Structure 1
Amino acid sequence: MIRGLYTAVSGMITQEAKQQVITNNMANANTVGYKADNLAIKKFNDVLIQNFDKVSGGKNVRNIIGSISNGSEIDETLTDFAQGLLQETDRETDFGIAGSGFFAVRRTAANGNQNTYYTRNGEFHVNNQGYLVTASGDNVLAVNMDTGAEGPVYVGNGKLVVDGNNDIYIDGTAQYRFRLVDFTDYKSLRKVGDNLYSGEAPMESNAVVKQKSLEKSNVNIINEMVNMMTVLRTYESNQKVIQSMDETLGKAVNEIGTVR
């Protein structure tokens, strides 16, 4: 009976965590370049059930009944990196990626350290210093066509145009090329906030940058609503199991165990 309580409670805990993931997906249904998450659930390690009721040779010997799981637990959070729809805009600094890949951006910490992150959100703008940056102010990285060095994109007051080779033209002159990267194992990517990812061993991507376009979130709001209802009903089922067990234990303690 007590083991059943633990099993039902573990189910409620995992369903609550799944509900949080679904809620976050729905909240980011309109976030540019957002990729939906899904919670993977696994069972606890099986527990061996045995007793010593079996008698052999006048002695009680171990009798293996079988095994039982103690419930479920959270395994990992998986991200769906499927391509979102590209929606056309009228802004020259909006960019969408067609294919597998990420923009590389550089963030400067308060202590001066610089870290490189990756994003599918191409909703950029030119800051007061004339550099192409993200909504959070991180520098968008590109390769300088003259030096071959990687660094921020300086636009100034110039007109910015990107061609089919991902080359960035400033006032008609090709000066940069977007640094698009990809990864062999997307499971190594970790969300760090602000729609950014951290990852190791990036490689060059063959994706194409579409100017005046933004990639919409790949969240399917209808599926998420269905998943939310399923999680709610599963949670309520576990809750009713706990209530039933609690009532049974109450009777066992207060009625069956009463000395008359």
Structure 2
Amino acid sequence: MTEKNRKIKQKKEVEQMLRSLYSGVSGMKNLQNKMDVVANNIANVNTTGFKSSRVLFQDVMSQTTAKAAAPGNGLGGTNARQIGLGVQTGAIDVNMAVGAPQTTGRSMDFYLSGPGYFMVRGAGNDANATVYYTRDGAFVRDSDGNVVNSNGMKLLADTLDTPVEFTDDFDAEQAFTVDNLEGLKPVNIPASLPGDETALYSAMTIDQNGLITAKYGNKVYVMGKLKVAAFNNPEGLEKVGGNNYIPTNNSGDVMVTNIGDRGTGQLNAGFLEMSNVDLATEFTDMIIANRAYQANSRSITTSDEMLQELINLKR
């Protein structure tokens, strides 16, 4: 072998060693993504309405050293020879399955048994405020009578301008027909009945169909009806923190609907939705990711040793 051919061969061998190094590095980098997701799932095991995520991997492009050949001339066909160039993160999916209900005993805690979303309004005036969607049904009534979540965002519903005394023959379907975001308003339960300052507020309820009523004095008044949001692809929603989501191009447009329609489930007062994190699965994934990370680091150190031996051949 001539000196020139020896150098060419040595260069190819070095390139092959570097290829295995890069494959090991890609494995470690993407396994870190998996560990980040697993750790976040475990950290949010007690977060109300939290939806766990998972990481899916894909192979990177492969280097073809020999193409496939068809049978011919008395010989059988041969398959292509390809060497993979590592791994990449293909997707990070969100598991939107409904979590189990947890009893709280609070009348202002609500649990949706189906894949619907409460709608809350962020900061800003009515025209510019962003509407967020959440599975967190923990609400309180503030000093101004607004029904808000823990971040002060106002709960949206189909509300009446003037409360109506509740009777057995009250027709909620006829009274509440809003089916779009523009028609929804923040729920407000004032300290006294509008038009009668002597009738003071004492309690409010939202029944399983979303009908909002408040007690003033000895009478019960209808204040509005809670509507929920539905999406064609809930997994396409984007998490923005605070247990809130916003729509994306892949979630589909928001559909404002009555509770129970479009499979949104039933409203249950006195319960909150637990996270759907399965700790057994997360710990198993953590062990697998840890071992895979160690294996990839070993492939890097082994490739480094082989590369060092190749370099030493020149001495």
**Alignment TM class, shorter chain as reference:** 0.7 to 0.9
Give a deviation string over 1:154-198, Cα, whole Å, max 9, x none.
Answer: 123431111121111111222121121111112321111111111
Find the counterpart in structure 2 of residue 208 from structure 1.
266
Displacement after TM superposition at 1:66 (Å): 2.6
Matched residue, 2:71? none
Q: Decide whether the 8 Å contact of 2:41 with 2:277 is kept in 1.
A: yes
Q: Is the aligned partner of 1:178 residue 2:222?
A: no
Change (3 A) 1:214 1:234: same
Per-residue CA shift, 1:8-36, capped at 9, x if unaligned? 11111110011000111111000010110
Match of 1:191 among 232, 239, 253: 239
Match of 1:153 among 177, 187, 202: 187
For 1:219 and 1:139, the matched residues in 2 are separated by: 28
Partner of 2:288: 230
The alignment partner of 1:76 has SS state of strand
User: Structure 1 residue 72 and structure 2 residue 130: aligned?
Assistant: no
> TM-score normalized by structure 1?
0.87
User: What secondary structure, in the 3-state scheme, does the structure 2 residue paired with 1:82 have?
Assistant: coil
Of 164-173 and 22-31, the range deviating more from structure 2: 164-173
1:31 maps to 47
In 1, the alpha carbon distance for the partners of 2:86 and 2:309 equals: 25
Output the TM-score relative to the length of structure 2.
Answer: 0.73
- Cα 1:85–1:75, aligned 2, differ >3 Å: closer, same or farther? same
Alignment match, 1:55? none
Mapped partners of 2:214, 2:88: distance in 1: 53
Tell me by how many angstroms 1:109 deviates.
4.9
Q: Which runs of 5+ in 1 are unaligned?
A: 52-63
Matched pairs, number: 244
Alpha-carbon deviations, 1:101-137, whole Å to 9, x = none? Answer: 1101111159x83111111001111122221111111
Q: After superposing the two structures, state which structure 1 stretch, 217-226 or 164-173, moved more.
A: 164-173
1:133 aligns with 2:144: no
Distance in 1, Cα, partners of 2:80 & 2:232: 46
Q: C-alpha separation between the residues in 1 aligned to 2:225 and 2:61?
A: 51
Q: CA offset at residue 68 of structure 1?
A: 2.5
What SS does the corresponding residue of 2:292 show, helix, strand or coil? helix
* Greater fraction strand: 1
* Structure 2 unaligned regions, length at least 5: 1-16, 68-78, 162-175, 192-200
Q: State the identity %.
A: 30
The alignment partner of 1:161 has SS state of strand
Following the alignment from structure 1 to structure 2, what is the Cα–Cα distance between the partners of residues 65 and 77? Answer: 31
144-153 vs 85-94, which moves further: 144-153
1:4 equivalenced with 2:16 (yes/no): no
